[in-house]
Structure 1
Amino acid sequence: MSAQATPPFALRPMLPADVPQLAEILRESVLELTGDDYNEQQQEAWISVLDDLEAFAARLAGGLTIVVTLGGAVVGFASLEGNDTIDLLYVHPAAAGQGAGAMLADALEKLAGSRGVAALKVDASDTAYGFFIKRGYVAQQRNSVERGGEWLANTTMQKPLGGDKA
């Protein structure tokens, strides 16, 4: 890859054939990027959502899921649950910090705003908390979620959208 200020990311809707790659992105993202905030048992419990790939595929298909590509390869994905909640947002560790996550979040914020949503919500992991703070999200409450016998902390955050002022 040549040295560029901004990699040439592109967005597109998720295709059913993307599901195995998206599962791998979630797995690698959790295992490689969340170690400062979650222990190994918590990480394993977190990725246990992938034990049932059909259920994971149904979850992705149940919302509006978009993928971000780099040179045609999928490097991240995000999904909107209902019109007002970011359900999932993951970027492969090799592409983390290069703008793919921001591109996904921008797209979901624009979609939600175009649907008349006043505010977008997300249950942000401790790892993703700073990313959402920088984007103007405000912490609403702390949560503890049980997954596979492990407790995982996250924070419900909210960002006002558009409204009368851009």
Structure 2
Amino acid sequence: MSAQAHPQFALRPFLAEDAPVLAEIFRESITELTGDDYSEAQQEAWIESSDDVAGLAKRLAGALTLVVTMQGSPVGFASLAGKDKIDMLYVHPAAAGHGAAAMLVDALEKLAGARGAEKLKVDASDTARGFFEKRGYVPQQRNSISLGDEWLANTTMSKALVKPEAVKPS
């Protein structure tokens, strides 16, 4: 999907001053979107794992992080760690299901390919697994992650990237 498919959204690089609003998007995304897959205690542990705004800012600045905006305001973000791993993907609940996450992942896939990655991997939450499967990601293994006193499950998934020179004009 191209940016033109989502005219209400725009992409831009992460800026340090984005950290407080992205931390809020992180919290609201977990609180409002993951309740069918994770208990309240698991959600709280997940939120606490990145609840330090300065720590989140450092993590996002240390990766290639994109912010999706609507009318100039951030509504989601995603980061590429190294050249081949989606580290974080969070969208505000009001923007979920409207193409913001797809726009972010499309951009990260292109950037990863441009960096020489042959495949892209992600540790997808149970909530995000279906989203990634629809985009061609294949489950590789189940994981149990310890956060505080809680255990959360996720799935390592990967997708082969099409090399730019392999794309044939239509």
Q: Number of residues paired by the alignment?
A: 162
Q: 1:6 to 1:83 in 2, by over 3 A?
A: closer
Report the alpha carbon displacement of residue 45 of structure 1 after superposing the two structures with TM: 0.3
Report the alpha carbon displacement of residue 7 of structure 1 after superposing the two structures with TM: 4.8
- Corresponding position of 2:38: 38
Q: Which residue identity does 2:128 align to in structure 1?
A: A
Name the TM-score, length of structure 1 as normaliser: 0.94
Deviation digits for residues 134-160 of structure 1 (CA, Å, limit 9, x no counterpart): 000000000000001100000000000
Structure 2: unaligned runs, 5 residues or longer: none
When the two chains are superposed, the root-mean-square deviation of aligned CA atoms in Å is 1.2
Contact 1:145 1:153 in 2 (8 A): yes
Any residues of structure 2 matched to 1:5-84 within 5 Å, and which?
Answer: 6-84=6-84
Contact 1:85 1:120 in 2 (8 A): yes
Distance in 1 separating the partners of 2:160 and 2:86: 13
After TM superposition, the runs of 4+ consecutive aligned structure 1 residues lying more than 4 A away are none
Structure 1: unaligned runs, 5 residues or longer: none
Q: Which residue identity does 1:165 align to in structure 2?
A: A
Deviation digits for residues 11-66 of structure 1 (CA, Å, limit 9, x no counterpart): 00011000000000010000000000000000000000233222111111110101
Distance in 1 separating the partners of 2:9 and 2:52: 30
Distance in 1 separating the partners of 2:55 and 2:18: 14
Name the TM-score, length of structure 2 as normaliser: 0.92
Percent identity for Structure 1 against Structure 2 = 69
- Corresponding position of 1:128: 128
Contact 2:118 2:162 in 1 (8 A): yes
Q: Which residue identity does 2:74 align to in structure 1?
A: V
Distance in 2 separating the partners of 1:13 and 1:151: 32
Q: Which residue identity does 1:47 align to in structure 2?
A: I
SS of 2:46's equivalent in the other structure is helix
